[in-house]
Amino acid sequence: MRYSFLLLLPVLALLAGCGGNESQTHAAAPAAAIPVSAAPAAFQSWPELYEAAGTVCARAFVTLSSRVMAYVREVAPQVGDRVRAGQRLIALDSEDLEVNVRRAETAEAEVAGAMPEADHGMAAAKANLDLAQSTFRRMEELAAQKSISNQEFDEASARLKSAQAAYDMARAKRSQLDTTLARSREEVKAARITLGYASIAAPFDGVVTVRSAEPGTLAAPGAPLLTLERDGGYRLEVAVEESKLPFVKNGQSIEIALEALDRRMTARVSEIVPAVDPASRAYTVKIDLPSLPNVRSGLFGRAWFPMGDGKTLAVPQAALVERGQLQSVFVVEETWARARLVTTGRHSAGAIEVLSGLSEGERVIVPVPDGLADGARVEVRQ
């Protein structure tokens, strides 16, 4: 048995040698290098920006309220409804106001009805006055000729004075009626105006943002019923530290972002509120927004104000690879591509600021070829 085992040893060694050569023959050939272009991470002249956060507000809004005390009968719009200028939004109970209008109209009619009688009385008084004047003139002539007694002359004079007083009284009554009629007409106008307060209309085209009243609510003067925002006119109001105020100018064009709409855009500073908030030591700066769909008051926004130039590390924006919330670049290390997580900041003219993850002079692959993976062999070509 021992002799047989010794004979098998050379055979096993030969088989082992044959297997090793076969494994080497089938070894994978090295992968071909991927041709890429590279650019160095370098410090660039970059505008220094001050970031301020704020809220979108309507440029024009109004809180509608009643000018009279009455119960709400109808509230037509719901929150979010668009309304037109002049459209009736709220109807109040107007029975008492209608009664006041009818009462004023009745008073006006009574005064107007007394006018013909006053006119007739004044005409009669004028006729009596004319007769008394004619009689007095004749009596005067006869008295001068000593043709009548003093008693007759005195009686003619008294009749003239009485007729004059009666005519003056008739004229005064007619004038009083004119004044009363004018006052009655004004009262009718005022009652109708007050009746108009029972219908509250939209002062401009807009959207309803707050509905504070329902049918049956007692509307008191000054109590809010509806809040209406003018459609299409919005601005971003941000708080700016007082130390940064010298860099903010009226009419200045700045970059802003509305995160809910995922929009970045250029807007113009329209107003700088001169008063400073003593608690936050900040000013309010108002920025007009361009007309955009789906803009609503209350949205969160950011604004960036330029404060001069500085140096910052940057790479071409095409070198950035984004996967979800992760951002990375491919760095060339000898002949290999190495994925490097980075933290980025601002964007400007095709470049992106690198806050961390890269050092000056490191070469990044740009643009990134499709399917490039960490550890891939690359060949940098100019």
Give the relative orientation of helices 150-196 and 95-144 as an angle to the nearest 10 degrees.
Answer: 160
Distance CA 11, CA 191 (A): 126
Q: Tell me the residue type at 327.
A: Q
* CATH no. for 51-58+232-308: 2.40.30.170
- Following DSSP, what letter does each residue of 286-313 receive, concatenated? EEEPPP-TT--TT-EEEEEEEEEEEEEE
pLDDT in tens, 119-172: 998 999 999 989 999 998 998 888 888 888 888 888 889 999 999 999 999 999
Q: What is the pLDDT of residue 143?
A: 84
Distance CA 69, CA 218 (A): 7
Query: Does 17 have pLDDT greater than 60?
Result: no
H helical segments located in 145-205: 150-196
Distance CA 305, CA 200 (A): 43
| Ramachandran category for residue 233: left, alpha or beta (phi over 0 → left; psi -120 to 50 → alpha) | beta
Count of residues making up the chain: 382
Distance CA 118, CA 178 (A): 10
pLDDT in tens, 287-330: 998 888 788 888 999 999 988 777 889 999 888 999 888 999 99
Question: Cβ distance 212 to 89 under 8 Å?
Answer: no
The residues spanned by each domain of the chain are: 34-46+312-380, 51-58+232-308, 65-93+198-229, 95-196
User: In this structure, which topology does domain 34-46+312-380 adopt according to CATH?
Assistant: 2.40.420
Q: What is the pLDDT of residue 30?
A: 62
**What is the SS3 assignment for 318?**
helix
**What is the SS3 assignment for 205?**
coil
Question: Cβ distance 352 to 344 under 8 Å?
Answer: yes
Share the mean pLDDT of the chain.
Answer: 86
Strands of the sheet containing 70-75, edge to edge, are: 199-201, 88-92, 70-75, 218-219
CATH entry, 65-93+198-229, from 2.40.40.20, 3.30.450.30, 2.40.50.100, 2.40.33.20: 2.40.50.100
For 107, the token pair is 């008073």
The number of angstroms, rounded, from the C-alpha of 124 to the middle of its chain's C-alpha atoms is: 69
Asked if CATH classification 1.10.3470.10 holds for the domain at 95-196, the reply, yes or no, is: no
Tell me if domain 34-46+312-380 and domain 95-196 are identical in fold.
no
Query: Does 4 have pLDDT greater than 50?
Result: no
Tell the residue number behind the tokens 């007739």, with chain if given. 120
pLDDT in tens, 80-117: 888 999 999 999 999 999 999 999 999 999 989 988 98
Q: What is the pLDDT of residue 53?
A: 92
- DSSP bridge partners of 235: 57, 288
Distance CA 211, CA 202 (A): 13
- DSSP bridge partners of 161: none
Q: Predicted confidence band at 22 (pLDDT cuts at 50, 70, 90)?
A: very low
Which of 59, 50, 47 is CA-nearest to residue 242?
Answer: 50
